[in-house]
Amino acid sequence: MDSAPLYLEPHLEPSLASLLDSAAFLHTLVDALGSPLNVVLPDEIARNVERFRAAYRRHNLAGQVFFAHKANRSSALVRRLAATDAGIDVASLGELQHALGAGFAPDRILATGPKNPEFRWLAARSGVTVSVDGPEELEELDALVGRHGLPPVRVLLRLADFEAPGAKVLSRQTHFGTSVKSLDQLLDVVERHQEAIRPIGVAYHLDTTSLDEKAIALEGCLLAMDALRKRGFQPRVIDIGGGFGVNYLAHAAQWERYTTELTNAVLGKRPSMTWSGHGYGLRAENGTLRGTLSLYPAHRPVAGAAYLDELLSLPARALGRPLGTLLLENLYDLHIEPGRSLVDQCGLSLARVLEVRRTDTGDHLVRLAMKANDASLEEHGVLMDPVLLPRGGVAAATGPAAVHLTGNLCLEADLITRRTVHLPRLPQPGDLLAFANTAGYCMDFSATHAQQQPIARKVAVHRDGGSWRWCLDEQYWPITRPGGQQI
């Protein structure tokens, strides 16, 4: 058994690394605004857009990058994005209002997800493209257009249940979209409502890391486009949704060692690595490993724009040539809806250490001024070490420490992570722990007011020469800053 600390150090690009080097600045922010505190870096979202654009250029493809807004509620990120050429994918009335108010014109907005009548009305009235789930939604849109005398609505037909030609690949169960097997019936409905509905193309979104499944879906969309053309429509867009992923960890070797040791721990070959022997989906039955690891693959050598590049380079199973080539030959626009990957490196979550306690078993409990939902890495299965920012810049003179991170709710389940976390030193009350790279889903998607504990405030930061400057998230606009500096 290997007893060296099981670190899972975060992957940090220069901006986030530089921010974490500014511990005094981050302490001042938490002193003023409380713990927990979320910090976003709007300029990073623009860099990520550019990376996706570069992948488009490599394949000579046109089309739009739509940020899946649900990944983060920040105004600063959305307003900074509005200053790029990207679009936004909104999934609620509030998100649509937010996008319009941030400066997105309707032709840069895509409405997806479950829709209530108000959301659908504002989408149709303002002229955004609507991704429709099925025939019922087409009927609703047709009625809306007729009743209110609205212009025709541009729609994408969201499809699901793609199957590989020949091979029987089990398709993922989803409650969104129309099965490709019912495409004909869906097109009958589109045909009946041609006055009100303009089908500009087809779409899918698969919540999977599997390139194969996505390649099958993309090929299925190419075939669906043929079906639309046979009916006399002139579709030009294939929207392949999101799910390009993020690489959270700095070192592949740490991730491999961690998962190997977790297996050993579940099999009883080494001491537990988690609270109450939690196995993250794995269990031992008569000395044999069972179950499946329910963790995000935190070290991903191919993620984000590189993942898109790889998908487009894959050959289509039935149609032969690479998927990107097939899109180009048909002069189709490629739309994508990245959420997590567009806000990669765009933020971090800070928590103050309230108390450090040694238990009877010799473990250390580190209680944070934060609840599990404030940095819901655990909920998303992302295992990654927080960065210790000692108060006053002086770390305690201890060696590496194994700790359990607990939250501020009066609830046994309020563990920031069920994993035993290895830190280079034992934290002290007053220190900060910084959870890096939480902008995708982890910083605000699940935040609640449970027990009347505050939810984190959010600030936007940017570099100004050698120092960092900040403003409240809602105060941020991507314009010339005081002092004359351009964004």
Ligand X SMILES: *Cc1c(COP(=O)(O)O)cnc(C)c1O
Catalytic option among 346, 410, 442, 471? 410
Q: Which residues bind to ligand X, rule: CB under 6 A? A: 68, 70-71, 89, 112-113, 205, 241-244, 337-341
Based on the residue annotation, tell me whether 410 is a catalytic residue of this protein: yes
CB nearer to ligand X: pick between 332 and 441: 441
Q: Give the nearest distance from C-beta 92 to ligand X in angstroms.
A: 11
Nearer to ligand X, 67 or 121 (CB): 67
Nearer to ligand X, 177 or 427 (CB): 177
Give the helix, strand, coil percentages of the chain, each rounded to 5: 35, 20, 45
Smaller CB separation from ligand X, 80 or 205: 205
Peptide bond into 36 cis (omega under 30): yes
Give the nearer residue to ligand X in terms of CB position, either 44 or 89.
89
Q: Which residues contact 320 (CB under 8 A, 6 or more apart)?
A: none
How far apart (Å, rounded) are the C-alpha atoms in residues 27 and 101? 32
Smaller CB separation from ligand X, 335 or 418: 335
Q: In 105-251, where does DSSP find H-type helix? A: 117-126, 135-148, 183-192, 211-230
Least distance in angstroms from the C-beta of 15 to ligand X:
21
CB of residue 276 to ligand X, shortest distance in Å: 30
The number of angstroms, rounded, from the C-alpha of 255 to the middle of its chain's C-alpha atoms is 20
Residue with tokens 């993250």: 280
Residue 331 burial (CB count, 10 A)? 9
User: In the complex, what is the shortest distance from the CB of residue 242 to ligand X, in angstroms, rounded to a whole number?
Assistant: 3
In whole angstroms, the minimum distance from the beta carbon of 286 to ligand X comes to: 37
Burial 407-417 (b: 16+ CB within 10 A, else e): bbbeeeebbbb
Tokens of 81: 């994005």
| Helix orientation angle between 211-230 and 183-192, rounded to the nearest 10 degrees | 40
CB 156: neighbour CB atoms within 10 A? Answer: 23
Task: Return the SS3 of 155.
Answer: strand
CB of 243 to ligand X, least distance (A): 4
Active site residue ranges = 410
